[in-house]
Structure 1
């Protein structure tokens, strides 16, 4: 891409510039096309520090879009988006998120709303503000029914390790807190974290419909490819509203 995906980031210096594409009335984001740089920008250092990658034990028991099986190797009973938890979680009224806190990985960050560019791409935080997270505004707010999506850079030439640099270190049971504009606090519990090739991004698991209040955190993962100027994977944390 010759132009950065965020119209507010025309001077961004990261090498990752491929945007998320949204298609259809459901606004499905094809993050496999985000590739390199929607949420990652290589560091200036000759040998940039590698962000933590999810452990095998942290993978959620969700259907794997690449194989049609769940992550434990058995065929899923349904292709519908899975329910989180064993019972219905309380649903909160709509209120925009303003801050996210993840104690295990040291995240305490302001959230900015993200929309769509005129050409149908998902906006991303400017690389010069890679310490900020971004909430996909057309989707549910954290705590509403459905999956709320918050994205963040893994690193940036401007600041080095970015807001979601350590996302892959999360483990099932870890807590995530989101402060909402109405003053309420939505608390989530991590179900699992997994790295997906961008060619097999689990669109339905991230953006698919569900009656449960869920949270999806997304960043780039894998080893930065100097030849393509991109990261090969996306690291995704799946969480449910604590009941």
Structure 2
């Protein structure tokens, strides 16, 4: 992507993050860690989910994400694109840190916003380690710099090969305000790192401005 628009053949959250960063992810596995959970087929897109859609709210830069089911309560930092048009990963020096693609809409605005986070670092599981265990109907919230909050409900959780990442399906527009949470997942090898990405699809069900 470039300036918020896709470059032909490019994925915003690569087939993934830069190779060096991808290899950092998973280093914990080599020292005895466990592969992160993966979603079951029953969590795929297509089934009937929540029918509640809240009106999108004004732009508010995200400052924090909370996912009660996973015990996640993490600050959010802005992320840009690298020279190849791929989303830069959050710093791997803080396991409890998520990143928002600042070239896109903010969570709660009309359109599709993107939050990404590491699944693990050399020191152990990271902020989005448990994404694959979320289930349809789970809720999460994103606080904004305007001191307002947006609540989302999970519609689906899927895992895709990095070499065949469905950009349009993941980043394309949907009804109202959509949110995508993305991290590494799937299989893992010491040479290539993780071979897939776990993606959570969610939509806005309540928005409270400042």
TM-score scaled to structure 2, two decimals? 0.85
Are the equivalent residues in 2 in contact too, given 1:39–1:152 (CA < 8 A)?
A: no
Q: 1:87 to 1:132 in 2, by over 3 A?
A: closer
Task: For residue 51 of structure 1, report the CA deviation from its aligned partner.
Answer: 0.7
Which residues of 2 match residues 130-209 of structure 1 at below 5 A? 130-157=95-122, 159-209=123-173
Task: For residue 98 of structure 1, report the CA deviation from its aligned partner.
Answer: 0.2
- Look up the match of 1:43: 27
Q: Distance in 2 between matches of 1:39 and 1:107?
A: 24
Task: For residue 40 of structure 1, report the CA deviation from its aligned partner.
Answer: 6.6
Q: Distance in 1 between matches of 2:181 and 2:4?
A: 22
Whether 2:110 is the aligned partner of 1:128: answer no
Are the equivalent residues in 2 in contact too, given 1:221–1:232 (CA < 8 A)?
A: yes
More strand by share: 2
- Look up the match of 2:42: 57
Residue aligned with 2:168, SS:
helix
Using the TM superposition, name which of 32-41 and 90-99 deviates more.
Answer: 32-41
Q: Distance in 1 between matches of 2:42 and 2:53?
A: 25
Q: Distance in 2 between matches of 1:144 and 1:102?
A: 19
What is the Cα-based RMSD across aligned positions, in Å? 2.3
Task: For residue 60 of structure 1, report the CA deviation from its aligned partner.
Answer: 1.8
Are the equivalent residues in 1 in contact too, given 2:59–2:109 (CA < 8 A)?
A: yes
CA deviation string 1:82-134 (max 9, x = no partner): xx865753010001000000011111000001112355332211111232000
Q: 1:40 to 1:46 in 2, by over 3 A?
A: closer
Whether 2:182 is the aligned partner of 1:242: answer no
Rg larger for: 1
Which residues of 2 match residues 89-104 of structure 1 at below 5 A? 89-104=54-69
Task: For residue 234 of structure 1, report the CA deviation from its aligned partner.
Answer: 0.4
Residue aligned with 2:194, SS:
coil
Q: Distance in 2 between matches of 1:25 and 1:153?
A: 22
Task: For residue 242 of structure 1, report the CA deviation from its aligned partner.
Answer: 0.5
Which residues of 2 match residues 29-40 of structure 1 at below 5 A? 30=11, 31-34=13-16, 37-38=21-22
Q: How many residues align?
A: 199
In structure 2, stretches of 5+ residues that fail to align are none
Which residues of 2 match residues 205-224 of structure 1 at below 5 A? 205-224=169-188
Q: Distance in 1 between matches of 2:149 and 2:177?
A: 14
CA deviation string 1:5-42 (max 9, x = no partner): xxxxxxxxxxxxxxxxx258623651343166459701
In structure 1, stretches of 5+ residues that fail to align are 1-21, 62-71, 73-83
Q: Distance in 2 between matches of 1:102 and 1:211?
A: 22
CA deviation string 1:178-231 (max 9, x = no partner): 001101110000001011111221211222234520000000111211232x11
